[in-house]
Amino acid sequence: MIPIFQVDAFAERPFAGNPAAVVLDARGLSDQQMQAIAAEMNLAGTAFLTPARGGEGAHWHLRWFTPKREVAYSGHTTVAAVHALLEAGRLRGEHVVFETMSGPLGASVVADKTRRLIWLEPRVPTLHPFTGQLAHVREAVGLPAAAGWAAAVTTPDHDLVIPVAGLDLLRSLRPNMTALGDAATHAGLRGVCLVSRETVEPGSTTHSRFFAPHYGIPEDIVTGSVHSSIGLWLLEAGLLRPAGTMVEFTAEQGDGLGRPGRLRVELLVRDGVVGRVRVGGSAVTVMAGSIARPPA
């Protein structure tokens, strides 16, 4: 049997935010066995940790699987992995570096008297205008038209980010998952993220929904990976104003699924250039147990 944890990421209480599974010791598991465990867990992300393979400064080797395939980056699953390492007493200090298939990924832990924030430190993303058939994607999502406050862009993870006119419209979307999966596959997309500037809570800046049915994720609850790009997207559209060298805001996701998640996003800006992006949130363990080793 293999020890496994289930952690709710970007949440400060159980049964909120986005659940992810974490295998702290995946040594000896094949790719097929990892995929079988991820499929059995049937969560948007399952993390598999092994000792670092020698990458400079790395502490752990980290892989992410959805129920259908391996992905190059999963934010909420990384938050869950850091939380599980902390809970198991296997994280030394306040900073950790993971080896991943897309390069090194850092994370930091900041705690105060009331809560503990886990900050992801991905590379600063580069965004590109979407050149595919936006009308096909909008039709599959059920969105009549993209809002005019920002242009649709694609992220380094091949997610399409589309502005939406308001929260009511965002909530009303009922995507055709088969059509959306086909349109996203044809366009080479990992997922489709719809973003409203109208929010549930007055202190927030964005509210999002994210769909990736062709990855086994009809609707992701809280998508950490896309929010570093959303921060840069808003900044480039002139919708965020730095306070000195720092831009920070709260993002919302998951409320419509009954699992509200909250993310903190920070951008360090000097001379108009973004030098660092961080995405942070809390996490809680909801289950610890063991899972059978899949057939080799």
Domain assignment present for residue 26? The answer is: yes
- The string of DSSP codes covering 165-202 is S-HHHHHH----HHHHHHHHHHTT-SEEEEEES--SST
Question: Structural domain tally of the chain?
Answer: 2
Best CA proximity match to 196, nearest among 263, 252, 141 = 252
**Domain containing residue 19: CATH number:** 3.10.310.10
- Is residue 112 predicted with pLDDT exceeding 90? no
Q: Indicate if 176 and 237 belong to the same structural domain.
A: yes
CB under 8 Å to 27, separation ≥6 — which residues?
A: 50, 51
Domain assignment present for residue 267? The answer is: no
pLDDT score recorded for residue 55: 66
Long-range CB contacts (within 8 A, 24+) of 87-91:
87/5, 87/285, 88/24, 90/24
What's the average model confidence in pLDDT over 192-217?
97
Q: Do the beta carbons of residue 99 and residue 73 sit within 8 Å?
A: no
CB under 8 Å to 243, separation ≥6 — which residues?
A: none
Q: Indicate if 231 and 256 belong to the same structural domain.
A: yes
Domain assignment present for residue 275? The answer is: no
Q: Indicate if 24 and 111 belong to the same structural domain.
A: yes
What is the torsional sign of CA 172, 177, 179, 184?
positive
Q: Indicate if 159 and 233 belong to the same structural domain.
A: yes
Q: Indicate if 147 and 234 belong to the same structural domain.
A: yes
Domain assignment present for residue 270? The answer is: no
How confident is the model over 256-296, as pLDDT tens digits?
A: 999 999 999 999 998 889 999 999 999 999 999 999 999 98
Confidence class of residue 152 from pLDDT cuts 50, 70 and 90? very high
Q: Quick one: the chain helix, strand, coil %, rounded to 5?
A: 25, 40, 40
pLDDT score recorded for residue 271: 85
CB under 8 Å to 92, separation ≥6 — which residues?
A: none
Report the chain's mean pLDDT, rounded to a whole number.
95
Domain assignment present for residue 68? The answer is: yes
Q: Indicate if 136 and 103 belong to the same structural domain.
A: no
How confident is the model over 24-53, as pLDDT tens digits?
A: 999 999 999 999 999 999 999 999 999 998
Bigger pLDDT: 241 vs 151:
151
Q: Indicate if 113 and 133 belong to the same structural domain.
A: no
Counting every residue, how long is the chain?
Answer: 296
Domain assignment present for residue 161? The answer is: yes
Question: What is the rounded radius of gyration, in angstroms, for the C-alpha atoms of the chain?
Answer: 18
Domain assignment present for residue 13? The answer is: yes
Q: Indicate if 134 and 110 belong to the same structural domain.
A: no
Range(s) of the domain holding residue 70: 2-124+282-291
Domain assignment present for residue 272? The answer is: no
Q: Indicate if 138 and 75 belong to the same structural domain.
A: no
How confident is the model over 5-18, as pLDDT tens digits?
A: 999 999 999 999 99
Q: Indicate if 14 and 137 belong to the same structural domain.
A: no
Q: Indicate if 253 and 170 belong to the same structural domain.
A: yes
Q: Indicate if 108 and 194 belong to the same structural domain.
A: no
- Is residue 54 predicted with pLDDT exceeding 90? no
